[in-house]
Structure formats: C-alpha cells, structure tokens
Amino acid sequence: MREFIARLHLVTLRSFPKPSQWLTPAELHMFERIRAQRRRQDWLAGRWAAKELIRSYFDEEAGLQLTPSQIEIKNDENGAPYLSLTDTGMEERSCISIAHSAGCGLAGLSLHGPIGVDLQQIRAVRPDLAERVLTQHERTQLAHDFAGQESEGFFVFWALKEAARKAQRTRPAAAFHDIAVKLIEPRHAEISLRTQRLKAQWGRWGEFIWACAQLLT
C-alpha cells in the first residue's frame, strides 16, 4: 500500500456559518465581489474545506487550536491558492490546492512539494469529448478499465488532468492532450506533462471523483 501523497478534506455542506464569522477581512472582501450565486457557494465550500484541513493539521501535529479566521487563503497572480499564516513557519513549506464541484469543496495540503486536487461530479458526457481530451492510450485504458462505467472513467482521467494542471500552478494551463495519464494500479496514476512527472491518486466519493497529483522533483 502506498502512502497518501497529501492530506485531503472534502466538504459537502450546502450552508455555512455567516461568512463574517470565519473569513478574514481580506477574504470577506474577495467573497463580496463574487456575484454569481453558484460561484459564491463553491468559493465558500473550497475555503471552508481548506481551513478545516489546516486547522486539523495544526491540532493533530502541534496541538495548536486555530480559529478559521486566523487562517488566510489568498490567490497568486495565476489564481493558485496559498496560505498566509504568520509565525508558524509553515507557509514556506506548504502547498495547498482547492477544487469545487456542484457546491462541494475539496482541499489538499502537502508539505512535500506542489500538489493539485480536483473534484468532478459524475455526469453524462458527450460522446465526442473523450476523443477531444484523451489520448489514444487513455481511451484504450478507459475502455478496458471502465467497461460499462465510461462516464465515471472519463471523469477519473479528467480529474487527474485538472489536478496535474493545478500542481503546475501556472497560467495558461497545459492543454489536456499534453497531459498523459497512466492508471497504474487501483486508484493510483502516473502523469507526464512535457518534461515533468507527477504521481497521483484518485477515488470515488458518492457522486464525485476526486484526484490529487504531486509534482516529482
């Protein structure tokens, strides 16, 4: 059994305490600028997942009880999230990643290099989509490993590719065809992205597929 490459936290709540009770003033300002209701729900779910993850990490590893508003999550110029937490020495070493889907949020935390996470609600896919975003080798694996469950399988590849994109933390993101996913054993994958290599894990949770990828140095 391989070790998990990152800590993950999935949030399926549809309502949260009042934002002013757990967001920092800067986060509240960001939240208030989001207009679309769906995006507001997703944004809160992602932030809540990230803060719960960081809180539980500090509680378990250092016996330190932080409140959600002591943890600030910002986005860099490429949109990638990062942690702002003074006096813990953790900021420089940590990498967080956030995903949302259908109002649910997923966060990942790694102290061992850049990671990316993704969350996809399993749904019907247009037949031509697999052809457009998966390589020939991936389509062969999809047909072999997910016979009769092609939608689920499609989102496994999709989520792994999105997680790899996020681990890169760049913009514009790599094209899906440049990201090669190889499923290597149940729930693990190897990913190549031009000259970079990543290791990855995925899983199913209810109607969702989650994925987490880590850049190998």
Question: Nearer Cβ to ligand COA, position 38 or 144?
Answer: 38
Could you tell me if 59 and 24 are in contact, meaning their C-beta atoms sit under 8 angstroms apart? no
Binding of residue 206 to ligand COA (CB under 6 A): no
Alpha carbons within 13 A on the beta-carbon side of 83: 29
Q: Is 100 in the site for ligand COA (CB under 6 A)?
A: yes
Q: Would you count residue 108 as binding ligand COA (CB under 6 A)?
A: no
Q: Among 81, 95, 130, 214, which residue interacts with ligand COA (rule: CB under 6 A)?
A: 81
- Rounded Cα–Cα distance for residues 7 and 143 (Å): 31
Does 17 interact with ligand COA (rule: CB under 6 A)? no
Quote the least distance from Cβ 147 to ligand COA, whole Å. 27
Interactions with ligand COA, residue window 112-131 (CB under 6 A): 118
Q: Which residues are CB-neighbours of 213 under 8 A, at least 6 positions away?
A: 115, 116, 117, 160, 163, 164, 166, 167, 189, 191, 198, 199, 200
- Cross-strand pairs, 110: 95
Pick one of 6, 71, 80, 189: the residue that binds ligand COA (CB under 6 A).
80
Residue ranges in contact with ligand COA by CB under 6 A: 43, 46, 75, 78-81, 98-100, 118, 162, 165-166, 169-173
